[in-house]
Structure 1
């Protein structure tokens, strides 16, 4: 049962386990990705339902470009189909769409589609839906450093706030909760700067099986934690 007033403002999810889900059932890996896409729709709706302000989904990492060419092609096609199918409904529900990562590396048709989604939802005031595509945390930091060099910023001007303004996530709060499915217990180059004080939640459940109920369980687990951000907890009665 969720507690009122303790919903994380920003939830980020590493959606892992699609390929293993398919292999365990003797199916082609792409079938796992298709089922994972269906699950994504459910979790987006659930996050908006409980009042999450921003939801970031690690959809395609920069390391994923190392996968076989045919698998990448199928993933790009699946991404296009999913976006075209879901976009109108997301906009109607007030979702504000953002992307992070090296979007220029994606196929041109997907770049155009993502640009259109960003533009058409720019006036929306609902939950921010952030897709991490061709994204890597180290790469994001390096690109930010390059901007500092190009702008010839003075060392004393390079503050946390200034650096954050150069990241892909500029204008979006740091994640309060990072969820990873599939049993792996690492963040795999995801939001490295932003995750400094994020709470981490790991589950053995593969992404295609990660239901709305388990998402709520992860939120409840977050609600039970005491976040101190490096400080000493307050002691009542002393």
Structure 2
């Protein structure tokens, strides 16, 4: 979900306004994903590298996360969405962790869309943690590493959509992306809509996936 800062800068607004509009785009996208019938949607909300940002911006992001949970949890739960988290969210402030734990518990029994939020997540860190766990148990193989990834009980990754015109993965789901399709869209995240999601999925549906074969 890239482009919040640039969206705000283009309009000569504070970066936090861009993040606020980005939350609105999250709402639109989650609703659209549910209507389309997606099995899982993963949103890269806060990376391990985001701690390098200014303290006031980090504080604003934490505040937005809290407000999103407080304002949207009942709608999410009521629509059958199950909230999942990848990454070490326990490193967040205690009040944020408490809200997240409550949201996970509140939606644990839902069987609709798996809404996966990547929080304090970095793919290299995830792979290192998974390999260490595999080594502690015995053989380190592709299968044993995969079994210890944060996404081990989630469906395979099919499509990565990156907004804002950037063409890189930025430490996101590197292991899972081995044979995923990719879509790089020249639209800033606050302007992303359900129509953009539907168009990306329609394009994905036309692609031939060979997984290394002919």
Matches within 5 A, 1:16-31: 16-31=2-17
Establish whether residue 108 from structure 1 lines up as the match of residue 94 from structure 2: yes
Structure 1 residues 87-111: Cα deviation after superposition (integer angstroms, max 9, x where no partner):
1110111101100001121111111
- C-alpha contact 1:136 1:189 (8 A) present in aligned 2: yes
Structure 1 residues 140-170: Cα deviation after superposition (integer angstroms, max 9, x where no partner):
011112212333x1x3xx3333221211111
- What's 1:83 paired with? 69
- What's 2:119 paired with? 133
Q: Tell me the distance in 2 between the aligned counterparts of 1:197 and 1:110.
A: 34
Q: Tell me the distance in 2 between the aligned counterparts of 1:174 and 1:65.
A: 28
Q: Tell me the distance in 1 between the aligned counterparts of 2:17 and 2:126.
A: 30
TM-score under structure 2 length normalisation = 0.97
**Comparing 105-114 and 188-197, the one that deviates more:** 105-114
- What's 2:192 paired with? 210
Q: Tell me the distance in 2 between the aligned counterparts of 1:224 and 1:79.
A: 35
SS of match in other structure, 1:230: coil
| Runs of 4+ residues over 6 Å off in structure 1 | none
> What residue ranges of structure 2 are gaps of 5+ in the alignment?
none
Matches within 5 A, 1:214-225: 214-225=196-207
Higher helix share: 2
**Structure with greater contact order relative to length (CA < 8 Å, sep ≥ 6):** 1
SS of match in other structure, 1:58: strand
Q: Tell me the distance in 2 between the aligned counterparts of 1:162 and 1:51.
A: 31
Alignment RMSD, CA only? 1.0
Establish whether residue 191 from structure 1 lines up as the match of residue 173 from structure 2: yes
Q: How many residues align?
A: 214
How far the C-alpha of 1:51 sits from its partner, in A, is 1.1
